[in-house]
A and B are shown apart, each in its own frame.
Chain A
Amino acid sequence: MSEYKGSREAFVAAMTDLADKDPRVVFVSADSLKAARATNFAEKYPDRYFEAGIAEQNAVAMAAGLAACGLKPYVVTYGGFITMRACEQLRTFCAYTDLDVTFGGLNGGMIGGEREGVTHQALEDIGIVRTIPGVKVFAPADAAETYALAKAAGSLKGPVYFRLGSGREPDVFSPGTEVELGKLRKVLDYGNDVLLLSSGFVLDRVLKAAELLKAGGIGASVVEVHSLKPLDADGVVRELERCQVAVTIEDHTVIGGLGSAIAELAAERCPCRIQRLGIQDVFPESGPANTLADKYGLSPQAIADTARALAAGKGR
C-alpha cells in the first residue's frame, strides 16, 4: 500500500497509483508541484507533468484542452485559486463540457491554510463548486479517507473537486480504511438525542464533542459526509428522522457548504431544527490550527454546547 502522511500526500499517492495503471492520467500544476507533494510524480512521469506557472486560469484551461483530447488531468493547487480565480474555466470548460478533470483544492478551510491567513484559506470553495452542474464535490476527513476516496473516484466520469487540507490534518481513520463513494459514514452511535453531521478535517473535534456529550448523559450520533455533491439524501433524511435535531460542523463558511446542503434537503423532505457550525460569515485570520479552530467556534466544547442546547429543546 502507498505511503503517505496528510491529505496532500494521500491524494497524490492515489493519483500516482491510478497513473501507474492508466496512461491517460496526467498532472497539471500552477507552480504547485511542491505544495501538492507531487515532486515524486513528476520525477516518475516527467512527460505527464504539465506546468502552467502561477496562472490558475491557464492551468484549468490547459486541463480542459488535455481532457478534450482524451486525457484525465489532475489539477492540484490552492482551492481558493481554483474555485475563485479559475472559477469560470472550471465551470464553462470543464463542467459544461463534462470533461474528466479532477481538481485537488489545497488549503481547504480556515485550518487548511492556517499559517498563511485569509488569502490562502479556501473558505468558500465548496459553496462555489456546489452550484455548478455536474461537478462532484468531495471533502474527506483525513489522509486515509482522502486516499480511499481519490482511488475510488478515479473511475468517475466528468469533473470532480476534492477538498484537501494543509497536509497536517489529524488522522481519524486507520490506513487502509474503506469508503463507499457518495454514502454517509456512521462513525459513532451513542444514541439519537442529537445528530452531529461532520464534513472535512474537523471530524476529530466532532468525535471529542460526542464524548463530552456522552459524559454529560447525551447520546449523539456522528455521521461523516464526505460527498457534498451528490449528497446521500436518503441517508441524511434517515438520520435526521431518527435524531430529529442536528448540528452541522464544517471548516467552511456556513453559507453554501455542508450546513446549507443539509438545511436545503431538510427543508424539502424532513423539516427539523438544524444548527450550522462553521465560519460564521466572517474572514478569520492566521494562527495555530487548533487555537484558530477554537476561536472561530469549532472547539469540541462549542460543538457539544450547541448540540446539548438543541437536544434540550427537542419537541418544544
Chain B
Amino acid sequence: MSQEIRKIEELARTIRRDIVEMVYLAKDGHPGPALSITDIVASLYGSLLRVNPSDPEWEGRDRFILSKGHACPAVYSALARRGFFSPELLPSLRALDSLLQGHPVMKKTPGIDMTSGSLGNGLSIGVGMALASGYTKKNFDVFVIMGDGELQEGIVWEGALSAFKYKLGRLIVFVDHNGWQSGASCNDVGGCVSVKSRFEAFGWHCQEIDGHDISAILQAVKNARAETNLPSVIIAETVKGKGVPFMENDNSWHKRVPSKEQYEEAMKILGGC
C-alpha cells in the first residue's frame, strides 16, 4: 500500500472521529450521510484537490461543492485538518456565531467554495464554475459530491444536459450511492432507475467504484481528469454510517445524536479513545 493511500486512510479515520464528536457535542447533525462520504472527502482534501489553505481564495484552485450540504461535518473536519482553520472550531458546529453553520456557507467558512444544503443545486452551480474555468483559462477542476436521493431533483438533469452540451471535462461529480435518503430507501421514495443509466443517457463519462476504497477513488479521478471532452460521474457505492458498525445501513442515523455510551463506543471503534 502506498504512503499516499495510508495517509488518506488516516485522514479518513480522523474525519470519522471528528464527525461523531461534532454531532455528539452539538447535539445535532447528520452522522450517517457524513460518514458515507468520508473516504471521498479524505481523498479530495488529502490528495486530489489543488488548494492552498493559506490562500483559500486563490483563483486557480480546484473548486469543491458539497451538494448534499447536510453531510458538512465531514468537509468541516477535512478543511480543519488540512489547515483552513483550527480544529478547535469543530465543536462549534451549528452554534450561534460559529463559522460552522448547520449547512455550508461560503462567505463564513474558509475553504467552502459554495453555499449548499438545498438539495439538487450543486451540479448546475458546478456547470457554471466549470464554464468559468474554461472562459478565464484558469483551468481548474470542479468537484461536486451529490447524494443519490437528491438526484430526484429536476435541476440535476437540467445541469447534466448543459454539462454534456458544453463538453465540461473539468466537471467531476461523485454520487454518494448509499441507497438511502431522509425518509427511506431511494428506490422506495423516488423510484428505481439505475444512476448509471441515467447519466449514460445524458452522455456522461461514467464509472462505478467502491466509495470506501481509496485507491479506487484516486484511480477514478485520474480517469475522469483524463477524459477532457465529457463531464464525469463517479458513482461511489457507499455504506451510510460507514465506519461505525451500529450506524451502518441504519437509516435512523440519517439525523440523530449518539448517546454518551454510543459516542464512547464509536470513538473506541474509530481509535479515538
- A88 on interface, CB distance cutoff 8 Å: yes
Is there contact, CB below 8 Å, between A97 and B114?
A: yes
Q: Bits for A90-118, please: 1 = Cβ < 8 Å to B, else 0.
A: 00110011100000000000000000000
Is there contact, CB below 8 Å, between B159 and A71?
A: no
Is there contact, CB below 8 Å, between B127 and A65?
A: yes
Is there contact, CB below 8 Å, between A58 and B159?
A: yes
> A218 vs B182: C-alpha distance in the bound complex, in angstroms?
65
A93 touching B125 in the complex, CB below 8 Å, given contacts A57-B158, A65-B114, A88-B118: yes
Q: Bits for A60-89, please: 1 = Cβ < 8 Å to B, else 0.
A: 011111111111010000000000000011
Quote the shortest CB–CB distance from A176 to chain B (angstroms).
33
Main secondary structure of the interface of B (DSSP, over half): helix
> A88 vs B117: C-alpha distance in the bound complex, in angstroms?
12
**Chain A neighbourhood of B136, CB < 8 A:** 69-71
Is there contact, CB below 8 Å, between B124 and A58?
A: yes
Is there contact, CB below 8 Å, between A58 and B118?
A: no
- A55 on interface, CB distance cutoff 8 Å: yes
A63 touching B155 in the complex, CB below 8 Å, given contacts A48-B135, A58-B162: no
B interface, size bucket: 20 to 34
Task: From the candidates B118, B131, B154, name the one contacting A62 in the complex (CB within 8 A).
Answer: B131
**Chain A neighbourhood of B127, CB < 8 A:** 58, 61-62, 65
- A133 on interface, CB distance cutoff 8 Å: no
- A52 on interface, CB distance cutoff 8 Å: yes
Is there contact, CB below 8 Å, between B155 and A58?
A: yes
> A89 vs B113: C-alpha distance in the bound complex, in angstroms?
16
Quote the shortest CB–CB distance from A82 to chain B (angstroms).
14
> A88 vs B130: C-alpha distance in the bound complex, in angstroms?
21
- B161 on interface, CB distance cutoff 8 Å: yes
A57 touching B131 in the complex, CB below 8 Å, given contacts A93-B114, A93-B121: no
Quote the shortest CB–CB distance from A25 to chain B (angstroms).
11
> A73 vs B159: C-alpha distance in the bound complex, in angstroms?
17
Is there contact, CB below 8 Å, between B121 and A63?
A: no
Is there contact, CB below 8 Å, between B106 and A65?
A: no
- B133 on interface, CB distance cutoff 8 Å: yes
A66 touching B132 in the complex, CB below 8 Å, given contacts A61-B125, A89-B121: yes
Among B136-158, those with CB < 8 Å from A are: 136, 138, 154-155, 158
Is there contact, CB below 8 Å, between A69 and B133?
A: yes
Closest to B126 in A: A65
Main secondary structure of the interface of A (DSSP, over half): helix
Count the A residues whose beta carbon is within 8 Å of the partner chain — how many? 29
Is there contact, CB below 8 Å, between A92 and B115?
A: yes
**Chain A neighbourhood of B166, CB < 8 A:** 50
Quote the shortest CB–CB distance from B62 to chain A (angstroms).
11
> A67 vs B131: C-alpha distance in the bound complex, in angstroms?
11
> A70 vs B129: C-alpha distance in the bound complex, in angstroms?
10
> A69 vs B135: C-alpha distance in the bound complex, in angstroms?
11
> A296 vs B162: C-alpha distance in the bound complex, in angstroms?
41
**Chain B neighbourhood of A88, CB < 8 A:** 118
Which residues of B approach A to under 8 Å, CB–CB? 59, 63, 105-107, 113-115, 118, 121, 124-133, 135-136, 138, 154-155, 158-159, 161-162, 165-166
Q: Name 19 extra pairs, CB < 8 A, besides A53-B158, A93-B125.
A: A47-B135, A50-B128, A57-B154, A62-B124, A62-B127, A62-B159, A62-B162, A65-B114, A65-B127, A65-B130, A66-B128, A69-B129, A69-B136, A70-B132, A71-B132, A71-B136, A73-B128, A97-B107, A97-B115
Which residues of A approach B to under 8 Å, CB–CB? 26, 47-48, 50-53, 55, 57-58, 61-71, 73, 88-89, 92-93, 96-98
